[in-house]
């Protein structure tokens, strides 16, 4: 059976159509059909791997929440936790003349780059942490290139210093190494070398005053622990539909992926912020390296290979801001997808040859952490659902079993949605949006694996903050000026056209009813392609 009917190319005597139809008929059986069948087989295998991983993590989380294990599985039960010294209310008394040597010396690092809208958020929160004033140093690492922003940050540091807070404002001559370079330079300061632990917060993060009192005791009382990671809480999750979608994805990451890694393997990827490191462990692992765009994950893997353990505190939340413009989100996802793939390429043999960790932990890091979650999850989402399934409409000789095209995707989607129950009604929008973003994640993954092109591109995620958000369209009296180039995304529009064509073909000549999904997914790509997603920041 020919995929293209005779009348498809012959209508109107279109010579080019006839030639295209003839070429397609010649190539379909010897080339297209075998390649598509191979693609389907590979995608089905990857789907099964991803499903098995999701089911495994769901089983671990479910078991941890059952009454017999729920209390025993809490971090405070698995590791020793006792408050340091007096309670939080007595810290001022301790600093006023009492003995506060039992409190470890804490360095709080805040790296920032032109964070004009949010710089005061993290500085103020860090300076408000409950800890003996003589046992904490707040280090602001300002790589800003905007002189106005630099002056604002410097003045904010001086303001807090005048209140008796130990604040150090640090700048460097170049941005070499980006965030990793800034953190590395900060650790070289003489006062930093005298600290025991370091807490790291990005410029939009707002830790509660009791953050250190809840996190640091794990490091004090458990010498095998290197890292305490807190969960993120999003202050602008309800800003637009795109931020709701991000909340669903990140909540699953924290409530499932990080929780499973912490409770079963004592290993997970450091999130780069809202975490506290034991400085001796950080140094033993080799410190900060800028060889990839995921310096946080790089450090975590190296520390784990040295035998150090990590703990995730799901009930310790730090408020922060989600990227609300599509441009910022796309750059962030490129970095988060390209970096892990490139790190996997660089560290694969180092993990295999390591003799300090068990074979099961190696398997977890290589297979579960990197291969399935960081590579296969991105590739199969885009290639299978946006390329291969639509292609089978044009080549009916190739069939996909219903368990691969319907049942597995449905189960995976439902398992992903459990992290954010309040958004369960948005699950259809979420899966369509995730499929669109998988285009960028897949491209970034291959760039990282092949170490090509934009492999080391680092674009700081833009934060709007409350001040700029108050000036957004809809709240202003004048209609903002928009540039068409800022709104159109050609690749997304191309995929939308491909899916729409396949949907139309399925209605006309197919019999598997894929057109319902194809039209919905085509619409999602089109909406993103014309820029109607997220918050739009106009040019003044």
Residues carrying an active site annotation = 143, 296
Contact between residue 137 and residue 108 where contact means Cβ atoms under 8 Å apart: yes
Contact between residue 185 and residue 141 where contact means Cβ atoms under 8 Å apart: yes
Contact between residue 175 and residue 113 where contact means Cβ atoms under 8 Å apart: yes
CA–CA separation, 486 vs 468, rounded Å? Answer: 19
3-state percent breakdown (helix, strand, coil) of the chain, nearest 5: 60, 10, 30
CA–CA separation, 340 vs 344, rounded Å? Answer: 6
Other Cβ atoms within 10 Å of 154 Cβ, number:
15
Contact between residue 227 and residue 308 where contact means Cβ atoms under 8 Å apart: yes
How, if at all, do strands 106-112 and 275-278 pair? unpaired
How, if at all, do strands 225-234 and 275-278 pair? antiparallel
Helices (H), 253-358: 259-260, 279-284, 295-305, 326-353
Q: How many CA atoms lie within 13 A of 325 on its CB side?
A: 18
Degrees (nearest 5) of the Cα angle 369, 346, 343? 45
Task: Specify which residues 142 forms β-bridges with.
Answer: 112
Which two structure tokens, joined as six digits, stand for 416? 């992903």
The SS3 call for residue 423 is helix
Q: Give the Å distances, CA to CA, from 508 to 7, 394, 505.
A: 12, 11, 5
């Amino acid at each position: 059976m020919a995929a293209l009917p005779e009348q498809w190319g012959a209508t109107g005597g279109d010579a080019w159509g006839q030639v295209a139809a003839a070429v397609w008929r010649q190539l379909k059986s010897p080339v297209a059909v075998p390649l598509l069948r191979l693609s389907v087989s590979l995608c089905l295998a990857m789907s099964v791997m991803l499903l098995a991983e999701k089911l495994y993590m769901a089983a671990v989380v479910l078991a941890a929440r059952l009454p017999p294990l729920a209390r025993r599985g809490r971090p405070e039960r698995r590791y020793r936790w006792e408050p340091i010294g007096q309670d939080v209310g007595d810290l001022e008394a301790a600093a006023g003349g009492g003995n506060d040597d039992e409190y470890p010396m804490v360095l709080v690092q805040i790296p920032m780059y032109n964070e004009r809208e949010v710089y005061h958020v993290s500085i103020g929160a860090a300076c408000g942490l409950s800890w003996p004033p003589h046992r904490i140093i707040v280090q602001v690492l300002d790589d800003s290139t905007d002189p106005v922003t630099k002056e604002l940050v410097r003045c904010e540091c001086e303001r807090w210093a005048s209140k008796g807070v130990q604040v150090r404002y640090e700048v460097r001559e170049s941005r070499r190494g980006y965030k990793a370079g800034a953190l590395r330079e900060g650790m070289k300061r003489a006062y930093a070398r005298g600290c025991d632990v370091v807490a790291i917060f990005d410029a939009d993060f707002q830790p509660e005053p009791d953050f250190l009192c809840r996190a640091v005791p794990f490091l004090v009382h458990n010498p095998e622990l290197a890292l305490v990671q807190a969960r993120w809480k999003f202050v602008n999750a309800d800003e637009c539909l795109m931020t709701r979608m991000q909340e669903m994805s990140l909540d699953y990451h924290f409530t499932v992926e990080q929780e499973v890694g912490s409770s079963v393997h004592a290993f997970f990827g450091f999130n780069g912020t809202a975490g506290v490191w034991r400085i001796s462990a950080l140094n033993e692992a080799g410190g900060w390296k800028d060889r990839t765009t995921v310096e946080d994950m790089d450090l975590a893997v190296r520390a784990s290979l040295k035998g150090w353990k990590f703990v995730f505190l799901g009930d310790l939340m730090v408020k922060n801001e989600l990227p609300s413009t599509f441009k910022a989100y796309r750059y962030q996802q490129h970095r988060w997808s390209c970096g892990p793939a490139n790190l996997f390429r660089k560290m694969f043999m180092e993990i295999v040859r390591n003799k300090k960790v068990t074979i099961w932990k190696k398997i977890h890091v290589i297979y579960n952490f990197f291969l399935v979650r960081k590579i296969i999850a991105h590739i199969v989402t885009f290639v299978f659902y946006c390329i291969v399934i639509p292609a089978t409409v044009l080549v009916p000789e190739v069939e996909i079993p219903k368990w691969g095209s319907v049942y597995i995707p449905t189960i995976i989607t439902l398992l992903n949605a459990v992290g954010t129950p309040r958004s369960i009604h948005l699950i259809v929008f979420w899966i369509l949006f995730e499929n669109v973003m998988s285009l960028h994640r897949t491209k970034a993954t291959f760039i990282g694996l092949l170490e090509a092109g934009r492999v080391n591109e680092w674009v700081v995620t833009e934060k709007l903050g409350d001040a700029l958000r108050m000036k957004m369209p809809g709240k202003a009296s004048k209609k903002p000026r928009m540039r068409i180039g800022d709104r159109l995304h050609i690749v997304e529009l191309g995929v939308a056209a491909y899916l729409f064509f396949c949907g139309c073909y399925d209605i006309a000549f197919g019999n598997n009813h894929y057109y319902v999904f194809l039209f919905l997914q085509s619409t999602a790509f089109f909406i993103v392609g014309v820029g109607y997603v997220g918050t739009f920041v106009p040019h003044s």
